[in-house]
A and B are shown apart, each in its own frame.
Chain A
Amino acid sequence: MIRFFDRFFRVMLDSIRDLTPILLVVVFFELAVLQQPVPNITQMLIGLVFVVLGLTFFVFGLEQGLFPIGESLAHDFARKGSLPWLFVFAFALGFGTTIAEPALIAVSGEASEIAAQAGVIANTEEAMARYANGLRLTVALAVGFAIVVGVLRILKGWPIHWLIIGGYIGVVIMTWFAPREIIGIAYDSGGVTTSTITVPLVTALGVGLASSIRGRNPMIDGFGLIAFASLTPMIFVMAYGILI
C-alpha cells in the first residue's frame, strides 16, 4: 500500500512537471500580451487539478494495462504461429481504433464542407454526410493496411527507411494528381489518426513482436508501426479525392 502511494506520487510529480510549461505559456501571454481578465478562475483551477490527476491515472494505467496486454498478445501470436490471424488482428486493430476516432470524425466533417463549397459534391446534408463517411472509411482502411504492412515488415525484418521513402514518393505523386482542396486535409489526416489509446497499444504490439521473433531487434524492428499509420492515410485520402 505504501509502495503504491509512493509510486503514485512520483508519477504525479512527473505529471505536474509535464504540465508546467503549458501553464507558463498561457500565463505569460495572458500577462504580457493580452491583459484581459480571466473568466471563471475557480473552474480553471479545478480543471488544472483534473488535468494533473488525469495524466497521472493515464500513465498508471498505461504501465499496468495497455503495455502488458499489447505485449502479451504479441507474444501469444508469435508462439501460436498463425500468420493469417496475426494479420486479421493487425488490420482490426488499425481499422477499429481509427473509425471511431473523434478527431477524425471532426476533420472529415470539415472536409465535407470544403468539398461542398468547391462544388465537388452537391451542397446537401446527405451528400456531405456520405462524403464524410467515405472519408472516414478511407482513413480507417489506410490505417488497417498500414498496421498489416508494418507487422509484415517486422516479421521479414525489412529496413524501415525503404518503405517510408516509398511512401513519401507515393505522397508526392498523389499530390500531383489530387485536387487542390483535398491536399491540406490529406496531409493533416496522417497526424490525427493515431489516438492516445492506439499509440501505446500499437507500440507495445510492435516491440512485443520484435522481441519474440529471433533475430529481430526491438529497437530497430519494433518501432515504426505508427509511422506507417500516419503515412498511408495521406495517400489513401488523396486517392479518395481523385476518385470522387
Chain B
Amino acid sequence: MMEILHTILNGLMSTLRDVLPIAAIIFGFQFLVIRRAPADLGSVLAGFVWVVVGLTLFLIGLEWALFPLGRTMAAQLTDPGFILGTAEAAEIALGTGAITWSDYGWVYLFAFMIGLSTTIAEPSLIAVAIKANEVSGGAIGAWGLRIAVALGVAGGITLGCYRIVVGDPIHWYIIVGYIVVMIQTAYAPKLIVPLAYDSGGVTTSTVTVPLVAALGIGLAETVPGRNPLIDGFGLIAFASLFPIMSVMAYAWLSEVALRRRERGAVE
C-alpha cells in the first residue's frame, strides 16, 4: 500500500514537472501581457488539476498493466528462435540458413494490431478529434477520424517493420510517402487537408511511442545485419506519415459515398 502511494506521488511529481512550464507560460502571458483574468479562472484551474491527476494515473496504469507485457511480447516475437523454430535458428547462427522477410508474419500482425489499438487510446488524438468534431459542426465524426488515423498508424508501423527486416534505407520510403501526400492533397476535400496534416503529429505520444520504440529496437537487434542504433529508429516517422494519407483517403471516400447516395436519391 505504501509502495503504491509512493509510486503515485512520484508520478504526480514528474507530471507536474512537465505541466509547470506550460502552465507558467500560459498564466504568465495571461496576467502579464493580457492583464485580465480569464473568465472562470477557478474552473480552468480545476481543469488543470484534472489533467495532471488524469495523466499521472494513466501513465502509472500503462506502466503496470500494459507496457511490461507489450515489451515482452515485442522481444519474444522478434526472437529468431520464435520466428523460425529452434533448429533453423541454429542454422542461421552457423551461417548456413537465411531469414526472409516473409518469416516475420507474426511481427507484422503484432505491429498492425498494436498500432491500431494504441492509437485509438491516444489521449492527444482524442483531444484533436473532439475539437474537429466541434469545429466542423459534427460533419467530421470523432470516431471515424480516429479509426482512419489508427488504420494509418497501423499500416505505417507494419511497413516500417518490413523496412527494418529487409534493411532498405528509410528516406526512399519517406520521399515516396511525401509524393503520395502531395497527390492526395490535390484531390482531397479542402476542409480536411489541415486536419489530415495535423493528425500525423498527434498520433505518436504517450501510449504509442514506448511500445513502438520497443518493437523497432527489438527487431533491429535480432534481425541479422541490422544496427539497432541506425535501423531501430524510423518507426515513429512511418507512424506520423501514414495517418496523413489515411485521413485524406477517408475524407475522399466519404465524399464519394455521399455523392453516390445523392445521385441515387435523385434517380
Residue numbers of A with Cβ under 8 A of B are 18-19, 21-22, 24-26, 28-30, 33-34, 36, 38-39, 43-69, 72-73, 76-77, 80, 82, 85, 89, 92-93, 96-97, 99-103, 110, 113-114, 117, 160-161, 164-165, 168, 171-172, 175, 180-181, 183-185, 187-188, 190-201, 203-204, 207, 211, 218-227, 229-230
Q: How far is the CB of B45 from chain A (nearest CB, A)?
A: 7
Since A58-B50, A68-B40, A203-B128 are in contact, a sample of 8 more A-B pairs with Cβ atoms closer than 8 Å, ordered by chain A residue number, is A18-B121, A53-B57, A54-B55, A54-B59, A58-B55, A103-B205, A200-B128, A227-B197
The reply to whether A77 and B34 contact each other, CB–CB distance below 8 Å, is yes
Pairs across A and B, CB under 8 Å, 9 listed: A22-B66, A22-B118, A33-B77, A65-B47, A89-B25, A99-B21, A191-B209, A195-B18, A201-B22
Stretch of B68-76, B85-93, B95-103, B259-267 on the interface side: B68-76
The reply to whether B233 and A187 contact each other, CB–CB distance below 8 Å, is yes
Chain B 33-60 interface 0/1 with A at a Cβ cutoff of 8 Å (1 = within): 1101011100111111111111111111
Q: Which residues of chain A come closer than 8 Å to B57, judged between CB atoms?
A: 50-51, 53-54, 57
Q: Which residues of chain A come closer than 8 Å to B233, judged between CB atoms?
A: 184-185, 187-188
Residue numbers of B with Cβ under 8 A of A are 4, 14, 17-19, 21-22, 24-26, 29-30, 33-34, 36, 38-40, 43-66, 68-70, 72-73, 76-77, 106, 110, 113-114, 116-118, 120-121, 123-124, 126-128, 130-132, 135-136, 170-171, 174-175, 178, 181-182, 185, 190-191, 193-195, 197-198, 200-207, 209, 229-237, 239-240
The reply to whether B65 and A51 contact each other, CB–CB distance below 8 Å, is yes
Q: How far is the CB of A182 from chain B (nearest CB, A)?
A: 10
Main secondary structure of the interface of A (DSSP, over half): helix
Q: How far is the CB of B110 from chain A (nearest CB, A)?
A: 6
Q: Which residues of chain B come closer than 8 Å to A80, judged between CB atoms?
A: 33-34
The reply to whether A30 and B69 contact each other, CB–CB distance below 8 Å, is yes
The reply to whether B44 and A65 contact each other, CB–CB distance below 8 Å, is yes
The reply to whether B234 and A203 contact each other, CB–CB distance below 8 Å, is no
Q: How far is the CB of A189 from chain B (nearest CB, A)?
A: 9
Q: Given A60-B54, A92-B29, A100-B17, are A184 and B170 neighbors across the interface (CB < 8 Å)?
A: yes
The reply to whether A220 and B202 contact each other, CB–CB distance below 8 Å, is no
The reply to whether A58 and B40 contact each other, CB–CB distance below 8 Å, is no
The reply to whether A65 and B197 contact each other, CB–CB distance below 8 Å, is no
The reply to whether B191 and A226 contact each other, CB–CB distance below 8 Å, is no
